[in-house]
Amino acid sequence: MTEREGGITRQQADTASGDCLSHVTLDERLINPLSHDSGRDRKIAIYDLLQENHFKVVGGPGGPYKLHIDKQENRLILTISANSGAYSRTLILSRSPFRRIMKDYDALLESYNDAIRHAPPSRIEAIDMGRRGLHDEGSRILQERLEGKVIIDFATARRLFTLICAVFWKR
């Protein structure tokens, strides 16, 4: 992996398989430079996403693809382009279907981060189970919202959901 221009890029040799993301960036306006935890979480989520993902644009050329994540008001903006530069598509998703899950997920992440510092292991495990359940629910909604536009597997949906939450985090 190499890091450049605010995103992390898969090395060229890894992209030969085709239908995957090779580069992911977040709009710089979305990044809070004062929040160490959320910055670390974003970098880890991007790194994990690029290590293993399945991402195919329905009706578009084969991958690999670049993904740029942004938000405008309460909408999520996903700009997908082919590495060749010959193709670009912007998807606009409403935040509404995710609002409750994101709010609960953010609260659980905050509780989890606090628990790691002060709580016994049983409390940390209980919070983490709740977090994983919300994460799974958000991932399923993301797959539904992308249906007919982008084909992603569940593991890719989980990693993308983490990034989407990062875009809307209040911290």
Which DSSP helix (H) or strand (E) runs through 111? helix 99-118
Number of domains in the chain: 1
Q: 24 lies in which domain range?
A: 2-168
The per-residue pLDDT for range 103-143, each reduced to its tens digit, is 898 888 888 888 988 899 999 999 989 989 999 999 999 99
What lies within 8 Å, CB to CB, of 44 at 6+ separation is none
CA 99 from chain centre, in angstroms, equals 15
CA 171 from chain centre, in angstroms, equals 17
The per-residue pLDDT for range 44-83, each reduced to its tens digit, is 888 989 999 999 999 988 889 999 999 888 899 999 999 8
The per-residue pLDDT for range 8-47, each reduced to its tens digit, is 444 433 444 589 999 999 887 766 554 555 667 778 888 9
Which DSSP helix (H) or strand (E) runs through 134? helix 121-146
